[in-house]
Amino acid sequence: MYELALFAISIVAGFWGAILGIGGGMIAVPFLTLVLGIDIRYAIAASLISIVATSSGAAASFLRDHLTNLRVAVLLEIGTVAGAISGFLISSYVQGRVLYFVFAAFLLFSTYTMLRRREEILATTDHPWSARLGLGGVYPAEDGTEHAYKVEAVPQGILYMYFAGILSAMLGIGSGALKVLAMDGAMKLPIKVSSATSNFMIGVTAAASAGAYLVKGDIRAEIAAPVAVGIIVGSWFGARAMVKMKARSIRVLFVILLVVVAIQMLVKGFQA
């Protein structure tokens, strides 16, 4: 029964993870620790698998639908991979309780940043690196037409990705929220492109750490298998739903999710 419950919640996590570009870890980690009572180190390791699953499950659809910006993703992944390795190296020296508070602070910061922006503000000019590397693109809007977009603040985006990578390795999350915020806020990409590109990137970020944790033995098949299978199923449906959703709806859902999980993590941190 507990395994089926984990499978069911993973489907939900995969569905919303694909839509919001945040990976299943943000939902999976609280469920694994708060409901199932699993040690957070196993939960973090399992959630890295869930992030790879979310990313892989939705990436094919987003690539086909022309939402994922592969060039931006590869460039920003320089920062995330470097950060993920750094995070893995320091994670063994940080206590579990500290991880809960770091996670909660990160989520609340993300909420604040998101609430400050009420409307979608798109880039009007390309950063010189973006112009040189052809990072801009086109994406399908809700009305079915294709809209062109540009890319700003590329160096800042890479720096944000470094910190996102550290958080990914330390907290077992894909840091998709920070990636979406960096692309949406700093680089001024459309929210759907940010979400889809983030979805693509979180899998790579997580794989760098997941491979290490798998070899180390922290990823246990009993936990990770039902999570990953559920996530794959959910993300497949989520990727299809996201294309048809309005950008504003995605933003509202994103903010609500951040607040709920932040509160849960704070509670767990005080209880630890």
Please say which residue, 24 or 114, places its beta carbon nearer to another protein: 24
Q: Which residue in the set 16, 31, 42, 139 belongs to the binding site for another protein (CB under 8 A)?
A: 42
Give the C-alpha separation, 259 to 252, whole Å.
11
User: Are the C-beta atoms of 107 and 192 separated by less than 8 Å?
Assistant: no
CA dist 51 and 35 (Å) reads: 19
Q: Which stretch binds another protein (CB under 8 A): 88-96, 109-117, 141-149, 187-195?
A: 88-96
72 near 150, Cβ under 8 Å?
no
Q: Which of 12, 85, 186, 260 binds another protein (CB under 8 A)?
A: 85
Least CB distance to another protein at residue 37 (A)? 5
- Residue at 14: amino acid letter: G
Strand partners, 149: 137
Instruction: Tell which phi-psi region holds residue 263, choosing left (phi > 0), alpha (psi between -120 and 50) or beta.
Output: alpha
Provide the 8-state DSSP code for 134.
Answer: T
64 counts as binding another protein under rule CB under 8 A: yes
The site map against another protein for 101-140 (x = CB under 8 A) is -------------------------------xxx------
Distance in Å, CB of 129 to another protein, minimum: 9
Does position 207 interact with another protein (CB under 8 A)? The reply is yes
Binding mask of the shown chain, residues 214 to 243, with x at each position contacting another protein by CB under 8 A = xxxxxxxxxxxxx-xx--xx----------
List all residues 6 or more positions away from 115 whose beta carbon is below 8 Å from its beta carbon: 255
Task: State the minimum distance, in angstroms, from the CB of residue 169 to another protein.
Answer: 8
Task: Work out the burial of residue 237: count CB atoms within 10 Å of its CB; fewer than 13 is exposed, 13-18 middle, 19 or more buried.
Answer: middle
Q: Shortest approach of another protein to residue 141 CB, angstroms?
A: 18
State the helix-helix crossing angle for 2-20 and 221-244, rounded to 10 degrees.
40
Q: Give me the least distance between CB of 109 and another protein, in Å please.
A: 26
* 227 exposure class (CB count in 10 Å sphere: 0-12, 13-18, 19+): buried
* Span from 16-24, 32-40, 116-124, 177-185 in contact with another protein (CB under 8 A): 32-40
Bridge partners of 138, per DSSP, are: 148
- 167's tokens: 């958080």
Which of 10, 110, 199, 209 is the binder for another protein (CB under 8 A)? 209
Rg (alpha carbons) of the chain, rounded to whole number: 17
Point out which span in 18-26, 177-185, 196-204, 250-258 binds another protein (CB under 8 A). Answer: 196-204
Instruction: Give yes or no for residue 265 binding another protein (CB under 8 A).
Output: no
Residues of this chain that bind another protein (CB under 8 A): 1-4, 6, 36-39, 41-42, 49, 52-53, 55-57, 59-61, 63-64, 66, 68, 70-71, 74-75, 77-78, 81-82, 84-85, 88-89, 92, 132-134, 200, 203-204, 206-226, 228-229, 232-233
